[in-house]
Structure 1
Amino acid sequence: MTFHWRHYRRDPIEILSLSGHAGLSVSDLVTATVAERLTHGDRLLVIDLTEMAGWGYTGRAAIVEAVRHLSAHRRVMLCPPRDKLTLWALQHSDLTVEMCADIDAALSRAEQEPAAKEG
């Protein structure tokens, strides 16, 4: 299974959706392409990991580092993976992100915020 990522907007948020398998070959892709490309922005960025099917150690570490990098530069909300080990790694990595069950819940939360309606 391969790794896929998709970036799109669904007002008032941006969504980074990751799916597939995060193995050894993913770490450079996540770091160089995904994290660097999305570092700056004024919209809430929702990182959706719900469709991730598998994790290797280096892929897990790369995604945790990408979430850390992105959350240091902009507001990030995370739709966590079903994988309990990766969820644990994300929860215990001193990340400053909000957790939301899925994209619809993140969108609902973002629409309820006054700042999202003003911008």
Structure 2
Amino acid sequence: MTIEWRYTVKQDLGILSVSGYLGPDAVHRFAGAIGWVVGRGDGPVIVDLTELRSWSAEGQTAITEAARRLAAAGRSLELAAIPADGSLVPDGDCPPIPVHADLAGALAAHSTRQGEPSEGRHEWRTTGWRAGDDAGE
């Protein structure tokens, strides 16, 4: 089993929504999604895990590697709605990873810091992502 993902850019904020199971078989696909994210947009990236069923230790490591990769590109990573079956414990050299209870809370935290997002929006997704699902709307 693998993951599906959708990346949406709103103003200076990226939202990477992930569904499925982030296990050993999905780590490569997640890293590819992060590569896509690094090349598009600016500012912080919220990884929305609302539709993620679970993650493995390898999946959690992929999250911390993504935080490092984004930090190297001058961007930060935040998590929204981590799976209930675990918590993320990054190692000491990982950039801070803020965790929000849900996507609405993550977006609210940014709207108070940066003002309301603009109407402009760009979106990319895997072909398996369900049509009609909207990030943060």
Matched residue pairs, number? 116
Stretch of structure 1 that moved more, 93-102 or 103-112: 93-102
Match of 1:9 in 2: 9
Match of 1:48 in 2: 48
Residues in 2 aligned to 1:82 and 1:91: alpha-carbon distance in whole angstroms: 19
Provide the TM-score with structure 2 as the length reference. 0.66
Task: List aligned pairs for 1:100-119, cutoff 5 A.
Answer: 100-114=100-114, 116=115
Residues 88 and 34 of structure 1, relative CA distance in 2, 3 Å threshold: same
Match of 1:18 in 2: 18
Comparing both structures, which one devotes a greater share of its residues to helix?
Answer: 1
Per-residue Cα deviation, 1:37-77 (whole angstroms, up to 9, x for no partner): 11253233111123221223333322331233223320322
The structure, 1 or 2, with the larger RCO (C-alpha pairs under 8 Å, 6+ apart) is 2
Residues 98 and 37 of structure 1, relative CA distance in 2, 3 Å threshold: same
5+ residue gaps, structure 2: 119-137
Question: Could you say what the CA RMSD is over the residues aligned between the two structures, in angstroms?
Answer: 2.9
5+ residue gaps, structure 1: none
Residues in 2 aligned to 1:78 and 1:56: alpha-carbon distance in whole angstroms: 16
Partner AA of 1:46 in structure 2: I
Conservation of the 8 A alpha-carbon contact between 2:78 and 2:99: yes
- The structural deviation recorded for 1:5 is 0.9
- The structural deviation recorded for 1:22 is 1.4
2:33 is aligned with 1:34: yes
Residues in 2 aligned to 1:75 and 1:57: alpha-carbon distance in whole angstroms: 21
* Percent of aligned pairs sharing the same letter: 27
